[in-house]
Chains A and B, each alone.
Chain A
Amino acid sequence: MIYDVPVLRRLGDCYYTVEFSDDADLQANFRVLAMMQHLQRENIPGILDVIPTMRQLGIVVEADRRKPVYWERLLTEYASQVTAPTTITSRLFTLPAWYRDPWSVEIAERNGEKHGVDWIAENHGISTDEAIRKHSETDHWLACVGWGPGCFFAYPLDTEGVTLPKLATARTFTHVRTFCLGGKCTAALPLDGPSGYPMLGRFATPIYEPIPTTHMFPESGVLFLAGDRHRYRPIEGDEYEEIQAKVIEGTYRYDVVEEEFDVSEYSRQRATVAA
């Protein structure tokens, strides 16, 4: 539910959040991004970082620079002025995605968990091919980047998408570049590590490079940002190997276009579908 009045919270002595909703709602995320861009444009002394998530904006301030009441007044004022933007500059990346790759299948079997693609098929009463199509047929909106470096949280834009429950107990090991689905949110592992989301497959291309070697990765090693979009292009093993070889050679080029994403038009269309 989007709140009538955004809620300001203090966290410790140097973090604040402006919360627009308690739900996973892209309309809330558009407001979050609008406020983030506004604060970035204003370049307010003492604000060190603004961190967008799906439903709230985190603000990190220089703790000993101003009194908390100053930040509360300032952020409350900015929050009260935020409306959904009409357009957002957004990059659309196409990511080659090997659904039901052998690594995720092997780990799912080893852990005694259902593979995510099979689980979607079972829940929707469809084949695994149709499950893959349902997940990949819509572009996804990156509502935020976080948890670990470059780990993104992507939500379906043009359909209701597919959903899976989060795991009751997180698995302790998942391969780097494995992409997973928790609720409606698609996320991917920037490094080998734990995950509480069912696995769908593995990307052929890097999502985090601490020593950037692939075209376009900046010094931070993180390429994707909140407000980007993803298109997941299903591939098979042969193409996965070909792309991996190019990545290792340093010759891979991400397929990306930058465009103005029309938030107003998108919101109108979704409202029509909902009605």
Chain B
Amino acid sequence: MKKLLAILLALAAFPQAVPAETLAITGATIHTMGPEGTLKNGTLVIEDGKIRAVGASVAVPAGSRRIDARGKVVTPGLFDSVSQIGLVEVDAVEGSSDTTVEDDRITAAFNVADALNPRSTIIPVNRIEGVTRAVVAPRAGRSLIAGQAAIIHLGGPGDYLVRSPVAMFAVLGERGAGLSGGSRGGAMLRLREAFQDALDYAANRKAFEQGDRREYALSRLDLEALIPVVKGQLPLVLTVDRASDIEAALRLAKELDLKLILRSAAEGWMVARQIAEAKVPVLVDPLGNLPESFESLGATLETPARLYKAGVTVAFLSGDAHNSRNIKQAAGNAVAYGMPWEAALAAMTSVPARIWGIADRYGTLEPGKDADVVIWDGDPLEVTTFADAVFIRGRAMPMRSRQTELRDRYKDLKTPLPPAYQKP
């Protein structure tokens, strides 16, 4: 253990400068989430930021640095399917938050990638607990359509954008109604109008430029941004909870041939067969079980299990920035309420990789994929388990954050000098 720590500390000291050395993690229980399944006493080899080999009888390459992970558990880095990581420091400090554009003209065109801060204090806090990738999504302001989301990895500045845009985010239900004059019917009408305008614009761009086309409800930039959505290329993530709203969303997607993803879906289990038949993935917070509004009367902790058993593709979200790290606790609760353990881990790894179209690079521990790897000190879904080491694209992350520095400053209150002189 001490040796492992020493190696990790050495690696952590210069995260940007770590040479492309070959690492071999040995002796661990490895949940590959891929064809190799779960390996007892497996070996994982990382080289040039990629997974080079994984298996029960993989030889440790000569010259590689070996990390003895006996008794540990290895998984892919965790993926949060909706977060605001990198968009906010302190929610209540307006200037530090870029989650929302309060402008109903350009919110479809708004892409969070233009606002992202890969040096956010929130990133280390989450990555040292095993979150390595996340969808960063905008929040709805005054428009039904909040804007475009991006996928980032949490490995720090540089090429932190994994995919952008990855989806268009919008709201229906109570929130949508409130933004559309007070009725769900109004929200549906607005959304349909936006998509019809985008279709028309796509087919008549030249006429529009010449001023020879009817007026559109949306700005030119918004129409441009919506074209991949109406062409079924860019997923549309709709926040809906009430069963009837989910049915309406499914009808709309079918009518316009949209690539729909449902978010929240408190009552999704009530219409799970329809969702499964439509092959629409659902992004859920497993802990949302309160009948907080008249659209979530059916909320239950069994939502993940029920959806999963009905054949729905389920991924987990935190919907948060600061505590995206607690997504594993949420997953553990999904298991406590009936979801198979493997499915719950998949809902934070391989499943979102497929939903978000990055399964060629991430989501399983297979040769050739990016080495987003976490070594846990136990069952990763357990609340008492923490990450011992985190690799993002093969680089060992420093196991430090603003929080660990505050902890270390104050862990001994009897120092002769004031705490301000205690520096990491």
Partners in one complex: no
